[in-house]
Amino acid sequence: MIAFKWLSRGAIAPFTGFRWPVDGSWVSAPQSAPEGSGVHACRVEHLAWWIGEELWRVELDGPILEREMQIEAPRARLLGQVTAWDPAAFVQACLGRTEGFAAETPTTELADYVALIKTVDAPTAAFVASVAAVAARGTKQAFSEERAWQARWLSRALDLF
């Protein structure tokens, strides 16, 4: 199946430092590794949780394990980079959302989040906007609901399926 994967610059896995082959070679996770050591990827709805520097389309092979924030497969390969990914545009979108929250709920806290978002990178902006959503809405679910909004934004902006 086709899915998405966030990587650091140079197609490098952010937590393991593994350098993904950009020529589309298949990569298998080690067999004897503990649970959760397969290749991690995102369905569209998971995209906002794992924002990194580069977004790649990937092909997954083997039984897909569904997890709360991601999916996992024993084998995968990179298909191509989503070059339309524009972190600055994304940050602007998060800023717009947070300004909206601040307008709904004009507290110093929300004002602080607005100020903060102007200075941070894309993954942090996603986080701050989600925190702001909780502050504005007053519910724990607002956090993951905001991530869902961010995923929909990414899907439209990047023309993902």
Partner 1 sequence: MSSRVPDQPTCREIVELVTDYLEERLSLDARTRLEQHLVYCDWCRVYLEQIRQTIRVAGSVSEESFSPQRQEELVRLFRDWKGKK
Interaction between residue 151 and partner 1 (CB under 8 A): no
Using the rule CB under 8 A, which residue among 60, 123, 153, 154 binds partner 1? 123
Distance from C-alpha of 143 to C-alpha of 77, rounded to nearest angstrom: 31
Residues written for the chain: 161
- Give 29: exposed, middle or buried? Use CB within 10 Å, 0-12, 13-18, 19+: middle
- Measured between alpha carbons, how far apart are the two ends of the chain, in Å? 13
Segment contacting partner 1 by CB under 8 A, of 21-29, 68-76, 96-104, 152-160: 68-76
Q: How many CB atoms lie within 10 A of CB 28?
A: 13
Using the rule CB under 8 A, which residue among 5, 39, 52, 78 binds partner 1? 52
Interaction between residue 135 and partner 1 (CB under 8 A): yes
- List residues binding partner 1 (CB under 8 A): 14-15, 33-37, 49-52, 67-70, 123-124, 126-127, 131, 134-135, 140, 143-144
